[in-house]
Amino acid sequence: MRSVPSVRQTEPTESLRARVRAGDRAAFAQLYDEHARAVYSHALRLTGNWAEAEEAMSETFLAAWRTRETVDPEGGSLKPWLLGIATHKAHNANRGVRRRLAFLAGHPPPPPVRDFADDAAGRIDDARRLAAVHDALRQLRRQDREVIALCVGAGLDYAAAAEALGIPVGTVRSRLSRARARLARLSSQPSDRGSRTDPRTRAGGTDRNRAERPALRGAEESEAAFAALFLQEDTP
């Protein structure tokens, strides 16, 4: 499906979906401009890591380009589609972190993200919010985490989340319900309610190292995911 650049421009009256399917350059530019921020934020919630999230965002749009012909010509916003790809990329990034830790063991830590925010206060606030959100999400099962990140974090409705993940709406409901119940239970635990000394749940912590120290249940799940990762394929 190759076409020369001059032919690639589709009628502006066509739907964005049709233009994306046709490989229209401007349509992808529009897609990026409208959704890059949401994709990045979603990837951040799931990875808890600035660099991974940025990479996942970039890969998401490249994957969207490659898989443009799978877009349904009928439908609404393409945001669920992009967030679905981003969910997958973020999952792979989390697996990649484990791999890299082995690969780069002994190396100095990467330099801090230089240009994330200009003012230090904003940067600390961003890191704080991220640490708090990621701390909450990491204690959930992967599937539940992804659903609640889409529905509550990114604000998709049930149908859109179902579209993003390619699962039935009923499954979205049950996973969301399970995620909510677990968050509620964790919030009500004495250790969290009391002096809030547990570093895992203390909102506002900015220690980046904690990202590498999974909560207990998270650790078990990560190991399982790690064991399975060699059997999995990346998205196109």
Which of the ranges 11-19, 78-86, 125-133, 164-172 carries the binding residues for other proteins, by CB under 8 A? 125-133
Residue 169's CB is within 10 A of a number of other CB atoms, namely 14
User: Given the structure tokens 């981003």, which residue do they identify?
Assistant: 86
Closest approach of other proteins to the CB of residue 75, in Å: 22
Closest approach of other proteins to the CB of residue 76, in Å: 20
Residue 205 falls in which region: left (phi positive, over 0), alpha (psi -120 to 50) or beta: beta
C-beta of residue 82 within 8 angstroms of C-beta of residue 96: no
Under the binding rule (CB under 8 A), the answer on residue 80 touching other proteins is: no
Closest CA to 90 of 146, 129, 38: 146
Which residues in the 99-118 window bind other proteins by CB under 8 A?
A: 99-100, 103-104, 106-108, 110-111, 115-118
Interface residue with other proteins among 129, 200, 202, 208 (CB under 8 A) is: 129
User: Given the structure tokens 């990140």, which residue do they identify?
Assistant: 149
Q: Give dist(CA 221, CA 15) in Å, integer.
A: 41
Which residues in the 132-191 window bind other proteins by CB under 8 A?
A: 132-133, 136-137, 141, 148-149, 152-153, 174, 177-188
Closest approach of other proteins to the CB of residue 15, in Å: 19
Closest approach of other proteins to the CB of residue 216, in Å: 14
Closest CA to 22 of 5, 44, 45: 5
Q: Give dist(CA 124, CA 43) in Å, integer.
A: 19
Closest CA to 80 of 160, 169, 170: 160
Nearer to other proteins, 74 or 216 (CB): 216
Closest approach of other proteins to the CB of residue 13, in Å: 21
Which residues in the 18-77 window bind other proteins by CB under 8 A?
A: 23, 25, 28-29, 32-33, 36-38, 40-41, 44-45, 51-52, 54-59, 61-62, 65
Nearer to other proteins, 74 or 106 (CB): 106
Q: Count how many Cα atoms sit within 13 Å of the Cα of residue 90 in the half-sphere of its side chain.
A: 29
Under the binding rule (CB under 8 A), the answer on residue 221 touching other proteins is: no
Closest approach of other proteins to the CB of residue 203, in Å: 7
**Chain centre to alpha carbon of residue 150:** 9
